[in-house]
Structure 1
């Protein structure tokens, strides 16, 4: 059979022209989404079709190879990515169906001591991060926005608060699926990428509670509550760094959120909120009743927190016991992809590894399924005389309900991954990467902007990594070969991921979810205007950090 390899100057023998033509699928996607206002899955389908046309006509890729490349990418999009997200949302739904989620909400009310600023940080930042770690997919914004609105926060401030709070955990969201995707598409070790992100995201996380204080109560809020904000932000960031670097990157946000909540509970037992009466008066709330008693018991609080402890245990066992890790790896199935393995080769004539690894057991989605079944069983047994009702049947049925609800989003993910593989295998992404590498070492400063753009448009850090990971790797390899040894593929993949997190707050999907949750439908532009300056400021900070890591702060990424 005739072999074929990708040529980065396939269009007119020019790298620049080839790179320009290679942008057409991305332009089509953005134009459909923002210009035509088409739904995300329709935009993705159109972009996929354009990428196949560019591959066949512009880069001379045989039609059958282009179509099989799309199939290969779609398979990875379906499993594990869609499966992981499905299981993450289902796991959260189990806690809601059980009735225990309401106890968790009341727990946050009790911890904050009546200071709505501290309560908002705990709910939007800590608990929202936990939801992002397990569910993502807009759930954290929708859920925490309604909870903060119930505290008495004005709609616009509530929306902006939850959108900004949602930035820090996004990189490790849905059990770190954006990083897993970056590793798969970029051909690099996901754990290494996660460790580098763990040396970037914590710095961002530290400042988020201060921003929330300023949004909710201006300079007075910072003066009154900067100490707990620093404690919560620092504990979250340190836990993120330690987990991503030394433990399991998939659990980074789960552990960071649990640690920061625990630290906040202990700290607030000794530090009393200041200016509580003043902020409640400014928000038109009733003064606190010192004699009010909570219905919560220690047992109910523990049962509300139990699901997240089970997740940590299950993931910890699967990643830390060598014999179990080896057995789980042995269950992976390698699926041979017809045509690709026989005909797709590198310029040197070596076959491109295009086999599909079916990790039916050894993947975060399965671990979440096991965790959810354990939680459902415990909740079913310990129902406190019928106070909390959950049957195994209703828990299992919820999987189907969740799958139906996310059907169009699942199609979007599958098409975006199919698009990414067509662009990668045909040489489109590599052509763009080699061209922009001509910017030199300064490109390290701009690298996070690609993730920011991709996430702002698609609403997904995972999709942004699927679109640009190969490009980032190619640019890094070119720059390294030209002497910029500090610009490693892992650094730029992490930059794409971390840059994406601050783009999510201004994505149309996030704005729509936030607006709906706080009864501001039709006023998404107001929320956008309030979030954009923060998004730009944080993006500049990340760009500067990545540039310094590539030139001066090598110790932050070397040796990982």
Structure 2
């Protein structure tokens, strides 16, 4: 059996040429999306073909290995990625079909005093942050986008708003899986990395509510609601810093999201926003009927799916015995042709040749379990014609959700196939190693690696899997604290997720704009690059005496 060991500089024995050739598939993808405005499926298919050609002829990967890499990536796109997204959208669909979502909207309306801008911040930033903390992998974008749509926010605005909002909690998403992964692959301590991320991410997170308000209602909205956005953003950020440094980095986003939401509710008891009706007119949203007075039972049932979601994920992730039991069911499948064929420089098989299939530990299963329980509870608690949901209707809603995903399924499968071909052939690593050849200035560029990795894979966890070890090696060689650059890889991924094709496809599907990924990309690309530039400056200054005090005193 033949083997393949990825090389860093296979093109003309030149790292520069290898990196230049290795980035071509990404350039093809983004140029087709942003310049030629093709459908994401078309761009993904073209980029995948280019990546396979580059892998075979540029990076000397056997043709069968390149094709098999694509199949493993496609499988990962189906499970767990699409599994999670479909279940997340289905759970939301159950609340709509049952009629309970209208009550949830009334609750947000009550808290926000009828101001849709307040409701949008609560949903996209606070509630979305909680979902990211528990599920991640696109679920927050899918759920909050559909919720904003139901409130009347226009599709394109809803998609851009939730994508920007999703940047704040990504570093600590899915119970801080990105940080745990980075520690495992770099050999550093997760608590140390998490503490530094907790001194980087909040510097961006406090600003996100202002950006959301600007996207929703422009400068006038900021003038009218800046006290609320300031309080929510600052409290969220302070909670992130405190929890990551003094409590538990795994629970950082849960604590920050709950603090942000609680502060918003309390603040709105004393702060009465102005211009709510005018804002609706500017946003092209009709004024809804006065919120119906809800009984305690109706409030409870409207909130039940999301309270249950927190409980299910909390138990599954935070109770060691349960987490270990679920994890034990994961299937480890040696991918045919790759399990023993992909090797390192010493000829040892790489772990990447084994496909991990999470049966019960996947957030998709936990969302499915939540949805089944919600269906049962809602069917038992049906009352008259207004609130009805039978198990048969729950199954029909699941089928409708899968049909609705349509082109997004193909897009996500193609994008993940692209990522795996680039990763397994060495294309991504060549680009990363090239960026690492900048000596002390590497700190300035270290977030770019996380940005690239997350933009390609759609996952901050995957970006850390790609580059955490590289960040450690490069930083050590350059005389920089490796904990700083590994943390920067994580934080860089936060703003990279904003332009991830996977997330773009999820957002476009959730707001019923299939094929409009390129339009959404143009709306968010500038913000992603701008936030990345700011982060690069922060990380560089943290590597110098100017801001080194921010990360000093950590062990």
Q: Per the shorter chain, which TM-score range? A: 0.7 to 0.9
Question: C-alpha deviations, 1:104-151, integer Å up to 9, x for none?
Answer: 11112111234555344334433455677763455534542562649x
Aligned position for 2:343? 345
Deviation at 1:225, TM superposition (A): 4.2
Deviation at 1:453, TM superposition (A): 6.8
Deviates most, 382-391 or 469-478 = 469-478
- Equivalent of 1:144, from 128, 145, 148? 148
Indicate yes or no: 2:492 matched with 1:496.
Answer: yes
Aligned position for 2:110? 110
Query: What secondary structure, in the 3-state scheme, does the structure 1 residue paired with 2:364 have?
Result: helix
Aligned residue runs from structure 1 range 170-181, under 5 A: 179=178
Distance 1:543 1:76, change over 3 A: same
Query: What secondary structure, in the 3-state scheme, does the structure 1 residue paired with 2:437 have?
Result: helix
Deviation at 1:314, TM superposition (A): 1.0
Deviation at 1:401, TM superposition (A): 2.0
Normalised to the residue count of structure 1, the TM-score between the two structures is 0.79
The separation in 2 between residues aligned to 1:240 and 1:535, in whole angstroms, is: 21
Normalised to the residue count of structure 2, the TM-score between the two structures is 0.80
Query: What secondary structure, in the 3-state scheme, does the structure 1 residue paired with 2:16 have?
Result: helix
Aligned position for 1:415? 414
The separation in 2 between residues aligned to 1:220 and 1:410, in whole angstroms, is: 39
Aligned position for 1:74? 74
Aligned position for 1:326? 324
Query: What secondary structure, in the 3-state scheme, does the structure 2 residue paired with 1:342 have?
Result: coil
Deviates most, 438-447 or 425-434 = 438-447
8 A contact 1:149–1:158 mirrored in 2: yes
Deviation at 1:224, TM superposition (A): 5.6
8 A contact 1:61–1:426 mirrored in 2: yes
In structure 1, runs of 5+ residues without a counterpart are 286-291
8 A contact 1:449–1:539 mirrored in 2: yes
Distance 1:403 1:189, change over 3 A: farther
8 A contact 1:25–1:48 mirrored in 2: yes
Deviation at 1:511, TM superposition (A): 9.5
Aligned position for 2:260? 260
Aligned position for 2:6? 6
Aligned position for 1:302? 300
8 A contact 1:179–1:497 mirrored in 2: no
Q: How many residues align?
A: 537
Aligned position for 1:442? 441
Aligned position for 1:315? 313
The separation in 1 between residues aligned to 2:303 and 2:206, in whole angstroms, is: 24
Question: C-alpha deviations, 1:444-485, integer Å up to 9, x for none?
Answer: 3334456667878x7x843x8758962575355223233223
Question: C-alpha deviations, 1:250-286, integer Å up to 9, x for none?
Answer: x8666644443333223333x1326x3x66468779x
Aligned residue runs from structure 1 range 114-513, under 5 A: 114-115=114-115, 117-127=117-127, 129=129, 135-137=139-141, 140-141=144-145, 143-144=147-148, 147=151, 149=153, 164-169=164-169, 179=178, 199-212=199-212, 225-240=225-240, 249=250, 256-269=256-269, 271-273=270-272, 276=274, 280=277, 294-353=292-351, 354-449=353-448, 461-462=458-459, 470=466, 473-486=469-482, 490-501=486-497, 503=499
8 A contact 1:181–1:466 mirrored in 2: no
Distance 1:324 1:75, change over 3 A: same
The separation in 1 between residues aligned to 2:323 and 2:27, in whole angstroms, is: 42
Query: What secondary structure, in the 3-state scheme, does the structure 2 residue paired with 1:6 have?
Result: coil
Aligned position for 1:545? 538
Aligned residue runs from structure 1 range 4-43, under 5 A: 4-43=4-43
Question: C-alpha deviations, 1:51-94, integer Å up to 9, x for none?
Answer: 22222212222222222222222222221112111211111111
Distance 1:43 1:4, change over 3 A: same
Deviation at 1:97, TM superposition (A): 1.4
Aligned position for 1:288? none
8 A contact 1:141–1:162 mirrored in 2: yes
Question: C-alpha deviations, 1:364-383, integer Å up to 9, x for none?
Answer: 11111111111111111122
Deviation at 1:316, TM superposition (A): 1.4
8 A contact 1:132–1:139 mirrored in 2: no
Q: RMSD of the alignment, in Å?
A: 4.3
The separation in 2 between residues aligned to 1:218 and 1:343, in whole angstroms, is: 54
Question: C-alpha deviations, 1:158-204, integer Å up to 9, x for none?
Answer: 8876665454356667x589949986997899977777655544433
Distance 1:368 1:145, change over 3 A: closer
Aligned position for 1:289? none
The separation in 1 between residues aligned to 2:194 and 2:214, in whole angstroms, is: 30
8 A contact 1:334–1:355 mirrored in 2: yes
Query: What secondary structure, in the 3-state scheme, does the structure 1 residue paired with 2:6 have?
Result: coil
Indicate yes or no: 2:43 matched with 1:50.
Answer: no
The separation in 2 between residues aligned to 1:36 and 1:157, in whole angstroms, is: 22
Query: What secondary structure, in the 3-state scheme, does the structure 2 residue paired with 1:341 have?
Result: coil
The separation in 2 between residues aligned to 1:207 and 1:30, in whole angstroms, is: 27
The separation in 2 between residues aligned to 1:556 and 1:450, in whole angstroms, is: 21
Distance 1:554 1:73, change over 3 A: farther
Deviates most, 369-378 or 444-453 = 444-453
